[in-house]
Chains A and B, each alone.
Chain A
Amino acid sequence: MKKLIKKLMAAAMVTVISTSMLAGCSGKKAEDASTPAKTEEVTKAAENSVDISKEETLKIFIPGDRPAAFDKVIAEAEARMKDTVNVKLDVVFVPWSDLQTKVTQTLNSGEKCDIIFDAPWNGMNTNVSTGYYEPMEDLLAKYGQNILKTTPNEMFEANKFAGKIYGIPLGVLQKPAGAYLVRKDIREALGLPEIKSYQELEKMMYAVKEKYPDMIPFLPQNTAGNDRSAAMMRLYFENPNQIERTEAFGTSHVLYFKNNDGKVYNLFEEMDSDIWSYIENARKLYNDGIIYRDMLAVADIATEAKKGNVAISVKGDIGVDAATQTALKSVNPNYEFETVDFYSTNPGAYTSDFKQWNFVCIPKVSKNKERAMMFLDWVRTDQANYDLLAYGFKGETFNTPDEDSYSFIGTDYTWFPYAWIWNPTQDRVSSDLNEKDKATYQYFSDASNFIPSKLLGFTFNAEKVTNEIAQFNSIEAKYYPLIINGVTDPQQEWDKFKAEASDVVKTIQTEYQAQIDTFLAQ
Chain B
Amino acid sequence: MSNLALNQRTKIRASSSDTILKAFIYISIVIVALLCFIPFWIVFINSFASEGAIMQDGFTLIPSEFSIDAYKFILRGAQVWRSYGITIFVTVVGTALAVMVSTMLAYLIASPKVKYRNVIGFMTYFTMIFGSGLVGFYIMIASWLNLKDNILAMILPYVVNPFYVFILVSFFRDLPQELSESAMIDGANDMITFFKIALPVSKPVIATVSLFYALVYWNDWWLALLFIDDYQKQPLQMMIRKLMANVNMAQYVGGTTNYGAVIPTMGIQLAIVCITIGPIILLYPFVQKYFVKGIMIGSVKG
Q: Does B258 contact A (CB under 8 A)?
A: yes
Q: A99-B252, A251-B255 are in contact. Are A414 and B142 (CB under 8 A)?
A: no
Rounded to whole Å, the gap between the CB of A373 and the closest CB of chain B is: 22
Please, how many angstroms separate the alpha-carbon atoms of A301 and B52 in the complex?
A: 17
Q: Does A149 contact B (CB under 8 A)?
A: no
Does B143 lie within 8 Å of A322, measured CB to CB? Answer: no
- Which A residue sits closest to B76, measured CB to CB? A68
Contacts of A416 in B (CB 8 A): 259
Of the four ranges (under 10, 10 to 19, 20 to 34, 35 or more), the interface on chain B belongs to: 35 or more
Does A228 lie within 8 Å of B256, measured CB to CB? Answer: yes
B102-146 residues with Cβ-Cβ distance < 8 A to A are: 134-135, 138-139, 142-143
Does B261 lie within 8 Å of A93, measured CB to CB? Answer: no
Contact with B along A96-126 (1 / 0, CB 8 A): 1111011001001111000000010110000
Please, how many angstroms separate the alpha-carbon atoms of A269 and B249 in the complex?
A: 35
Q: Does A84 contact B (CB under 8 A)?
A: no
Does B246 lie within 8 Å of A250, measured CB to CB? Answer: no
Contact with B along A307-351 (1 / 0, CB 8 A): 110000001110001111001001110000000000000000000
Contacting residue for A109 out of B143, B249, B253, B262, CB 8 A: B143
Does A111 lie within 8 Å of B143, measured CB to CB? Answer: yes
Does B265 lie within 8 Å of A303, measured CB to CB? Answer: yes
Please choose the segment from B27-35, B225-233, B280-288 that sits at the chain A interface, where 4 or more of its residues have CB less than 8 A away.
B225-233
Does A121 lie within 8 Å of B260, measured CB to CB? Answer: no
Does B253 lie within 8 Å of A68, measured CB to CB? Answer: no
Contacting residue for B225 out of A102, A223, A303, CB 8 A: A102
Rounded to whole Å, the gap between the CB of B29 and the closest CB of chain A is: 33
Please, how many angstroms separate the alpha-carbon atoms of A315 and B248 in the complex?
A: 15
Does A108 lie within 8 Å of B256, measured CB to CB? Answer: no
Contact with A along B200-241 (1 / 0, CB 8 A): 000000000000000000000000011001010000001001
Does A97 lie within 8 Å of B241, measured CB to CB? Answer: yes
Rounded to whole Å, the gap between the CB of A473 and the closest CB of chain B is: 11
Does B252 lie within 8 Å of A306, measured CB to CB? Answer: no
Q: Does A494 contact B (CB under 8 A)?
A: no
Rounded to whole Å, the gap between the CB of A110 and the closest CB of chain B is: 8
Contacts of B242 in A (CB 8 A): 64-66, 93-95
Contacts of B143 in A (CB 8 A): 109-111
Rounded to whole Å, the gap between the CB of B228 and the closest CB of chain A is: 9
- Which A residue sits closest to B259, measured CB to CB? A418
Rounded to whole Å, the gap between the CB of A322 and the closest CB of chain B is: 7
Rounded to whole Å, the gap between the CB of A458 and the closest CB of chain B is: 19
Q: A109-B143, A411-B262 are in contact. Are A316 and B256 (CB under 8 A)?
A: yes
Q: Does B47 contact A (CB under 8 A)?
A: no
Does B243 lie within 8 Å of A300, measured CB to CB? Answer: no
Rounded to whole Å, the gap between the CB of B79 and the closest CB of chain A is: 7
Rounded to whole Å, the gap between the CB of A58 and the closest CB of chain B is: 13
Does A119 lie within 8 Å of B254, measured CB to CB? Answer: yes
Contact with B along A208-232 (1 / 0, CB 8 A): 0000000000000001110110000
Please, how many angstroms separate the alpha-carbon atoms of A408 and B50 in the complex?
A: 21
Contacting residue for A65 out of B56, B243, B260, CB 8 A: B243
Does B245 lie within 8 Å of A97, measured CB to CB? Answer: yes
Does B257 lie within 8 Å of A105, measured CB to CB? Answer: no
A414-433 residues with Cβ-Cβ distance < 8 A to B are: 414-416, 418
Contacts of A227 in B (CB 8 A): 256
- Which A residue sits closest to B238, measured CB to CB? A95
Contacting residue for B254 out of A121, A315, A418, CB 8 A: A121
Contacting residue for B56 out of A303, A315, A331, A357, CB 8 A: A331
Please, how many angstroms separate the alpha-carbon atoms of A416 and B257 in the complex?
A: 12
Contacting residue for A105 out of B138, B238, B244, B258, CB 8 A: B138
Does B262 lie within 8 Å of A323, measured CB to CB? Answer: yes
- Which B residue sits closest to A105, measured CB to CB? B138
Contacting residue for A307 out of B55, B226, B264, CB 8 A: B55
Does A96 lie within 8 Å of B262, measured CB to CB? Answer: no
Please, how many angstroms separate the alpha-carbon atoms of A322 and B263 in the complex?
A: 11
Q: Does A299 contact B (CB under 8 A)?
A: yes
Q: A65-B242, A303-B265, A415-B262 are in contact. Are A224 and B254 (CB under 8 A)?
A: yes
Q: Does A92 contact B (CB under 8 A)?
A: yes
Contacts of B231 in A (CB 8 A): 66, 92-93
Q: Does A135 contact B (CB under 8 A)?
A: no
What 6 additional pairs, Cβ within 8 angstroms, besides A105-B134, A303-B265, A408-B262?
A66-B79, A300-B250, A308-B56, A316-B255, A317-B258, A327-B264
| B-to-A contact residues, CB < 8 Å | 50-52, 55-56, 73, 76-77, 79, 134-135, 138-139, 142-143, 148, 225-226, 229, 231, 238, 241-246, 248-266
Show 21 A/B contacts (Cβ-Cβ < 8 Å), sorted by A. Answer: A65-B243, A65-B246, A68-B79, A96-B252, A97-B252, A102-B225, A224-B255, A225-B255, A250-B255, A251-B254, A251-B256, A307-B55, A308-B55, A308-B56, A316-B258, A321-B258, A331-B52, A411-B73, A411-B263, A414-B261, A415-B260
